[in-house]
């Protein structure tokens, strides 16, 4: 019955042709520009006075009113904020991914140069970056045994590294040394000597002198005691690094004045000649 009604309606409807079909909504756009407002009475000069002479008001001027920056008192919270040291974060999860994808070699000590040579991190000394901080995201899945040097690390991060049989050191780099460390190839191509790392300022030395922070200028005996105390606090058995097959790599440390592993300050690295130019020994 419904089929007969449909056929009857089709016989009554006109045949589809170009004259009785409609375009889709918004399928046609008018490209012509309208007349707009004030057509021609300003001649492109805008409003009166400074508006037609391009004499723009200075930044912060509020046409005679008291400006915003003098209407409110100074907030001391932001004092010196542009001078604070910045430490971009790198998580344990990211570190594990870099190790699993062979972007970082765990058979060698890991430092800031290892992160920057992956091409995934942008450390800018000109933007007050003083290195990286290792965060505890992914601490429950981190399984690598590494010898790593960072600039800041929390207690949980230190416990996670040492639980897996690794070692961690927090070290300070001055901005001049960081320029060489974040891009070693560019520094070596200059043909200038490797810089000597400066000692940390007073407000940063307190952090790196603490054995609980694994500071690079802390007392080694105190660090051994803190390693044992941290293992007891988190309830894991502290691996003996001296009996580990990779003990030599795990115990490798930089000199407090050294920037690169195996390279001393004052040496010149020639990539073109593939040679190391060393200083003459003083008499």
Residue 213: exposure state from Cβ atoms within 10 A (0-12, 13-18, ≥19): buried
Q: What is the pTM of this model?
A: 0.72
Confirm if 132 and 279 have CB atoms less than 8 A apart: no
Q: What are phi and psi of 87, to 5 degrees?
A: -125, 95
Task: List Cα–Cα distances, 125 to 88, 173, 206, in angstroms.
Answer: 11, 10, 22
Q: Give the gyration radius of the chain's Cα atoms.
A: 34
Query: Which is nearest to 168 in space by CA: 177, 157, 176?
Result: 157
pLDDT value for 87: 95
**In terms of Cα–Cα distance, which of 267, 262, 272, 269 is closest to 108?**
262
Domain boundaries, the chain: 82-277
Residue 272: its pLDDT value, please?
Answer: 87
Per-residue pLDDT tens digits for 120-179: 999 999 999 999 999 999 999 999 999 999 999 999 999 999 999 999 999 999 999 999
For 16-52, the pLDDT digits (tens) are 888 888 888 888 887 776 666 555 666 667 777 777 7
pLDDT at 180 over 60: yes
pLDDT, residue 282, reads 62
């Amino acid at each position: 019955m419904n089929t007969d009604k449909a056929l009857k309606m089709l016989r009554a409807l006109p045949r589809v042709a170009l004259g009785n079909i409609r375009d889709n909504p918004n399928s046609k756009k008018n490209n012509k520009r309208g007349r707009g407002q004030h057509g021609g009475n300003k001649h492109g000069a805008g409003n009166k006075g400074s508006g037609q002479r391009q004499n723009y008001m200075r930044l912060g001027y509020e046409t005679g009113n008291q400006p915003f920056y003098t209407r409110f008192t100074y907030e001391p919270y932001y004092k010196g904020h542009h001078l604070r040291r910045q430490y971009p974060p790198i998580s344990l999860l990211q570190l594990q991914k870099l190790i699993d994808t062979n972007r970082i070699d765990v058979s060698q000590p890991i430092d800031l140069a290892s992160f920057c040579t992956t091409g995934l991190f942008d450390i800018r000394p000109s933007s007050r970056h003083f290195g990286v901080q290792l965060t505890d995201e992914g601490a429950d899945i981190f399984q690598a045994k590494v010898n790593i040097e960072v600039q800041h690390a929390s207690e949980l991060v230190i416990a996670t590294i040492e639980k897996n049989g690794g070692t961690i050191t927090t070290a300070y780099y001055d901005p001049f040394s960081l320029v060489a460390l974040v891009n070693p190839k560019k520094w070596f191509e200059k043909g200038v000597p490797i810089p000597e790392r400066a000692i940390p300022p007073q407000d940063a030395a307190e952090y790196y002198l603490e054995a609980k922070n694994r500071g690079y200028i802390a007392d080694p005996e105190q660090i051994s005691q803190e390693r044992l105390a941290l293992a007891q606090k988190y309830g894991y058995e502290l691996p003996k690094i001296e009996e580990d097959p990779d003990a030599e790599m795990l115990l490798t440390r930089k000199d407090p004045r050294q920037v690169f592993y195996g390279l001393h300050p004052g040496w010149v690295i020639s990539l073109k000649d593939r040679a190391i130019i060393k200083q003459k020994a003083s008499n």
